[in-house]
């Protein structure tokens, strides 16, 4: 009988996961840094060589960690584990630990390393340079499809969380002036004084948190209580502005400040789990492992790997690791804590979300996550209770539901999507701490705001990354017409081009018109999908698209390791996760297309929008599966070519244009110094010295 097994103390799950993450970071990330990537602080990063003050800007390690963590830790590590709790706590727990340590951390680390060595270029450009023009082109198309799917899906979550919530909106609005002041203080008023800027910004942010409730209760409260349709227009408009402004003005300091709030909440939740050590009411596995669950109708495999993305393995991280972060990295050694460290920290975030959801009574959990009928009645939940008792002997009657609604001061039945479930679960854990039971409503609304911050940082960063992909494609096309570049070619002419031709494509030349146009096109695309989408369809599409991108990034990473690592067998670090995720996501994609197409016949006549949405989901998923097949075949062709070639010491060092000239094609160090000096850096001798050290290692 389900639900009758011995209850599990949540503290053991937390301790086991913390130990696994600590061991993985201490040993596996060190292996990646010293053996696979051979990180070298003597090499100049793109943030220094291509500094333009807009996208390329050297950034303090801790500030950049905050930005990177805030950007990758969107709704995935919060919402995914909550939705996956329908299968029990064990499947999600195992996938989070195994995925984060052996797949997600490697995925993020290798992508960031490759992008830093490729002048901060995007994943599609890295694929073009290392696999071939076909993979570069296909990756560009796949990335744009995936970014649009991701942004529309996560934006819908924040719409559900902030709709009619003036408290949450007030706190979010306050983070904007806090970030602006922090950025100007850190970079203009008192350059380098990170501590002072942090103190000012954090004080303003937490002031907004504590003043949010009085504001919501005041006469001004209704001014920020926006309807969901209004938020669906406001979010794309905000993303346009955030993606156009220089990174140091709003995006980076805002993400940095919000990371304090995010990490602080997770630490408090972890402490709450240790102090209250709530018992997990959800069993280790449920009968939904065979399919038919309310959040996802699929079986536990492959869909647990689709529902839980961020927190284990997420392709979106590749967009950040080859988008904003490599353009701001101060030194190569920062790749380890930012690339791998942020991933395992996100895994811990996912674990706490899973614990919070599973600490709820199963009946309460399913009553929140079962949709209401047109009359506002929980008919679907009532049918579930009857079926679970009759067929499986599992009592799913709600036990604490009235207490939870009274404590949160909210109507909770039918609040699907995961955000409300997480907020209720976390508020319940917090309320078990001494003296906290009376402020349960405060904790609930605080967590809703906390979730919204996670998602907004992803929206602004994702839109900027999509703009990078657009701009690189346009710049590459223009360069090809003018004969100034031949990306993806391994000819001597390409490798020996001076760096100044590359800087026509990236860094130092800011085209504001192009920035505005590309940002508007990107936001219009995902904003349209946001307006017509629903959470059940978009979240599954998000998971499939996200993990397809992870498979693409791992294929590119495998190629990069084969080409540049000192030993080819190190490519197994990315190849093994690549095979696993490729098989998983293809099975999930085919099953989802079949399911969506079957739902169309069940939609009542005259409802054109749901029909169109499912048809579009089927088409997008099919296109993404085909594009991934093309990249996989092209990558396999490239792997075969490289494996057949004898291994050499050359070509395993950094691959930016000035570094490629060291591959034995005759450019002397003195000529290189002149070429770099002509770029206007003024540090030709220093670059030449670094180049000499690279060549000495290669020989």
136-160 pLDDT, tens digit each: 888 887 777 777 887 888 788 778 7
Please state which CATH class domain 8-164+226-361+442-644 belongs to. Answer: mainly alpha
| 608-611, long-range: CB < 8 A, 24+ apart | 609/532, 610/534
Domain locations along the chain: 8-164+226-361+442-644, 668-698
C-alpha distance from residue 56 to each of 162, 188, 246 (Å): 33, 17, 9
pLDDT over 90, % of the chain: 27
CA distance 431 to 409: 14
Q: What are phi and psi of 279, to 5 degrees?
A: -80, 135
pTM above 0.85, yes or no: no
Q: Convert the pLDDT of each residue in 195-221 to its tens digit.
A: 788 888 888 877 887 788 788 888 888
Nearest Cα residue to 383 out of 367, 368, 399, 402 = 367
**Alpha-carbon distances, residue 37 vs 305, 423, 488, 517 (angstroms):** 28, 40, 21, 37
679 compared with 144, residue with greater pLDDT: 144
Assess whether pLDDT exceeds 80 at residue 193: no
Q: Which residues contact 513 (CB under 8 A, 6 or more apart)?
A: none
How far apart CA 452 and CA 148 sit, in angstroms, is 19
> Residue 468 in contact with residue 448, Cβ under 8 Å?
no
**What does the block give as tokens for 100?**
């984060």
Given pLDDT bands bounded at 50, 70 and 90, which one contains residue 479? Answer: low
Which ranges of 163-276 would DSSP assign to H, the alpha helix? 166-184, 194-217, 228-244, 251-276
What pLDDT does residue 360 have? 92
- Helices 419-431 and 342-358, axial angle in degrees (round to 10): 80
Report the distance separating Cα 634 and Cα 641, nearest Å.
Answer: 11
Joined tokens for residue 256: 């940095």
Whether 309 shows a pLDDT value over 90: the answer reads no
Strand pairing category for 8-9 and 279-280 = antiparallel
**pLDDT band for position 326 (cuts 50, 70, 90):** very high
pLDDT score recorded for residue 550? 93
Query: Is the pLDDT at 474 greater than 80, yes or no?
Result: no
Residue 37: pLDDT band (50, 70, 90) is very high
Task: For residue 174, give every residue at least 6 positions away whose Cβ sits within 8 Å of its Cβ, in sequence order, or none.
Answer: 204, 205, 207, 208, 211, 212
Cis status of the peptide bond prior to 467, with omega within 30 of 0:
no
Query: What residues are paired with 59 via a beta bridge?
Result: 329
Angle subtended by helix axes 440-482 and 166-184, to nearest 10: 50
Cα–Cα distance for residue pair 573/325, rounded to 1 Å:
22
Answer with the residue of higher pLDDT: 419 or 301: 301
Which among 591, 463, 579 is positioned nearest to 527, based on CA atoms? Answer: 463
φ and ψ at residue 589, rounded to 5 degrees:
-65, -45
Identify the top-confidence range among 369-378, 460-469, 494-503.
460-469
How far, in Å, CA of 144 to CA of 329, rounded? 24
583 three-class SS: helix
- Indicate whether 597 pLDDT > 80: yes
For the ranges 53-57, 235-239, 328-332, the maximum mean pLDDT occurs at: 328-332
Residue 601 has pLDDT above 60, yes or no: yes
Q: What is the pLDDT of residues 636-652, one digit of tens each?
A: 999 999 988 876 544 44
Query: Where does the pLDDT of residue 3 fall: very low under 50, low under 70, confident under 90, or very high at 90 and above?
Result: low
**Is residue 634 within 8 Å of residue 132, measured between CB atoms?**
yes
- Check residues 590 and 185 and name the one with the higher pLDDT: 590
Residue 120 falls in which region: left (phi positive, over 0), alpha (psi -120 to 50) or beta: left
Distance CA 425, CA 408 (A): 11
Q: What is the mean pLDDT of the chain?
A: 80
Confidence class of residue 516 from pLDDT cuts 50, 70 and 90?
A: confident
d(Cα 148, Cα 140) in Å, to the nearest integer?
A: 12
């Amino acid at each position: 009988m389900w639900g009758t097994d011995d209850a599990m103390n949540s503290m053991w799950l937390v301790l086991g996961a913390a130990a696994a993450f600590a061991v993985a970071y201490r040993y596996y990330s060190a292996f990646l840094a010293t053996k696979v990537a051979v990180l070298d602080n003597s090499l100049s990063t793109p943030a220094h060589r291509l500094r333009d003050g807009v996208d390329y800007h050297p950034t303090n390690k801790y500030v950049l960690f905050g930005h990177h963590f805030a950007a990758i830790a969107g709704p995935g590590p919060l919402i995914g584990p909550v939705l996956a709790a329908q299968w029990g706590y064990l499947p999600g727990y195992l996938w989070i630990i195994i995925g984060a340590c052996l797949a997600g951390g490697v995925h993020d680390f290798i992508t960031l390393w490759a992008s830093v060595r490729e002048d901060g270029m995007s994943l599609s450009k890295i694929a073009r340079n290392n696999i071939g023009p076909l993979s570069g082109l296909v990756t560009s198309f796949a990335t744009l499809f995936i970014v649009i799917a991701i942004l529309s899906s996560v934006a819908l979550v924040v719409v559900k969380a902030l709709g009619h919530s003036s408290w949450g909106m007030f706190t979010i609005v306050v983070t904007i002036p806090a970030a602006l002041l922090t950025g100007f203080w850190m970079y203009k008023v008192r350059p380098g004084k990170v501590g002072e800027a942090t103190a000012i910004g954090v004080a303003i942010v937490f002031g907004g948190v504590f003043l949010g409730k009085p504001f919501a209760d005041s006469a001004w409260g209704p001014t920020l209580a926006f309807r969901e349709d209004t938020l669906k227009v406001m979010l794309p408009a905000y993303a346009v502005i955030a993606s156009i402004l220089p990174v140091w003005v709003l995006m980076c300091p805002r993400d940095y400040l919000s990371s304090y709030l995010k990490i602080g909440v997770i630490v408090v939740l972890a402490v709450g789990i240790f102090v209250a050590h709530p018992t997990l009411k959800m069993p280790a596995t449920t009968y939904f492992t065979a399919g038919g669950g309310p959040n996802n109708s699929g079986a536990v495999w492959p869909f647990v790997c689709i529902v839980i993305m961020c927190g284990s393995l997420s392709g979106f991280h590749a967009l950040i690791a080859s988008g904003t972060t490599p353009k701001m990295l101060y030194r190569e050694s920062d790749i380890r804590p930012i690339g791998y460290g942020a991933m395992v920290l996100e895994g811990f975030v996912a674990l706490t979300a899973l614990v919070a959801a599973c600490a709820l009574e199963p009946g309460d959990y399913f009553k929140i996550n079962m949709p209401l009928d047109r009359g506002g009645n929980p008919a679907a939940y009532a049918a579930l209770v009857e079926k679970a008792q009759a067929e499986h002997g599992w009592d799913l009657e709600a036990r604490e539901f009235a207490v939870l609604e009274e404590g949160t001061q909210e109507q909770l039945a039918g609040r699907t999507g995961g955000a409300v479930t997480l907020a209720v679960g976390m508020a319940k854990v917090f309320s078990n701490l001494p003296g906290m039971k009376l402020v349960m409503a405060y904790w609930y609304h605080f967590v809703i705001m906390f979730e919204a911050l996670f998602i907004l940082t992803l929206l602004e960063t994702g839109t900027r990354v999509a703009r990078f992909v657009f701009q690189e494609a346009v710049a590459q096309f223009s360069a090809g017409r003018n004969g100034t570049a031949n990306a993806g070619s391994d000819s001597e002419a390409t490798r020996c081009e001076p760096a100044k031709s590359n800087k026509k494509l990236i860094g130092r030349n800011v085209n504001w018109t192009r920035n505005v146009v590309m940002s508007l096109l990107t936001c219009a695309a995902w904003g349209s999908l946001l307006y017509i989408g629903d959470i059940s369809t978009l979240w599954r599409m998000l998971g499939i698209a996200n993990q397809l991108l992870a498979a693409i990034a791992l294929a590119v990473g495998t190629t990069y390791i084969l080409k540049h690592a000192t030993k080819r067998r190190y490519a197994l670090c990315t190849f093994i996760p690549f095979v696993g995720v490729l098989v998983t996501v293809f099975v999930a994609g085919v099953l989802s297309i079949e399911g969506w197409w079957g739902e169309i016949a069940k939609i009542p006549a005259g409802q054109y929008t749901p029909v169109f949405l499912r048809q579009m989901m089927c088409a997008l998923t099919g296109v993404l599966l085909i594009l991934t097949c093309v990249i996989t075949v092209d990558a396999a062709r490239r792997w075969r070519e490289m494996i057949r070639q004898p291994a050499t010491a050359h070509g395993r060092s950094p691959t930016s244009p000035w570094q490629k000239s060291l591959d034995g094609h005759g450019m002397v160090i003195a000529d290189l110094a002149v070429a770099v000096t002509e770029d206007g850096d003024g540090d030709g001798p220093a670059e030449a010295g670094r180049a000499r050290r690279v060549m000495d290692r290669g020989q």
